Amino acid sequence: MMVMENVVIPLLLAHGMNFSSTLLPQLLKLLTAMLLPVPFYSMERPRQMDFVCRLMERCGTDEFFTLLIQSVAPVAEKRSQGVIQKEDVVLLEVVLKMVTLFFTGRKEAMSNVIGAFARNHGIELFLVIINQNYARIESKRNSSNMEALREGYTQILSKRNAMILLLFFWMIKMKKNQELWCSMKMLR
């Protein structure tokens, strides 16, 4: 919590980034989880060495995986196409270092290590990634909203066209009534 208060929150404010309500808590929860001790089970050695169980015991959920997948998936996608840049390699390095520290770091040293890591490059890269992910989600949401608006607009246009037709026929009827009225007036 001290690391989050002293490093993460000022960085968030300094970058002036806006985040969705789900991604930022994931990052903070990840940092909190990295400060927690791993429970040791002397009778269950295989379980103790199972890193997935360790992760679940520290985080409580699989949000850590979600965060890593969100940040690494675009890099993996580029790598499968054969094009990888230096920034992508640095990102993979950061993720691997975070995972390594997460599993092998001593509880006492974890706070200082994460703080230094965050100040140097970790959190800033993750902030950029999360911000990009947020922008991607927002653009998808906006495109789906545009489709809904387009559909609604089409319905409005069809209703408008129906109203125009109704008005047109009403005007024709009124015109006929007016002509009829004029002809009746002439007959008098």
pLDDT at 104: 63
CA distances from 14 to 17, 31, 122 (A): 8, 19, 15
pLDDT at 101: 61
Closest CA to 3 of 101, 123, 85, 89: 123
pLDDT at 85: 72
pLDDT at 17: 47
pLDDT band at 116 (very low <50, low <70, confident <90, very high): low
Provide the sign of the torsion angle of the four alpha carbons 146, 150, 153, 155, taken in this order.
negative
pLDDT band at 144 (very low <50, low <70, confident <90, very high): confident
Please say if the pLDDT value at position 140 is more than 70.
yes
The span from the CA of 51 to the CA of 69, in Å, is 17
Please say if the pLDDT value at position 24 is more than 60.
no
Q: Kindly report, residue by residue over 36-93, the tens digit of the pLDDT.
A: 444 555 555 555 555 556 655 555 455 555 565 566 666 666 666 777 677 666 666 6
- What is the share, in percent, of the chain residues with pLDDT greater than 90? 0
pLDDT at 20: 45
Judge whether 125 and 94 are in contact, CB under 8 Å.
Answer: yes
Which amino acid is it at 146? M
In which residue are the tokens 């919590």 written? 1
What's the length of the chain?
Answer: 188
pLDDT at 64: 54
pLDDT band at 139 (very low <50, low <70, confident <90, very high): confident
Judge whether 133 and 70 are in contact, CB under 8 Å.
Answer: yes
pLDDT at 22: 47
Please say if the pLDDT value at position 135 is more than 60.
yes
Judge whether 130 and 23 are in contact, CB under 8 Å.
Answer: yes
In which residue are the tokens 């994931």 written? 26
Which amino acid is it at 71? S
Most confident of the ranges 2-6, 46-50, 69-73, 164-168? 69-73
pLDDT band at 19 (very low <50, low <70, confident <90, very high): very low
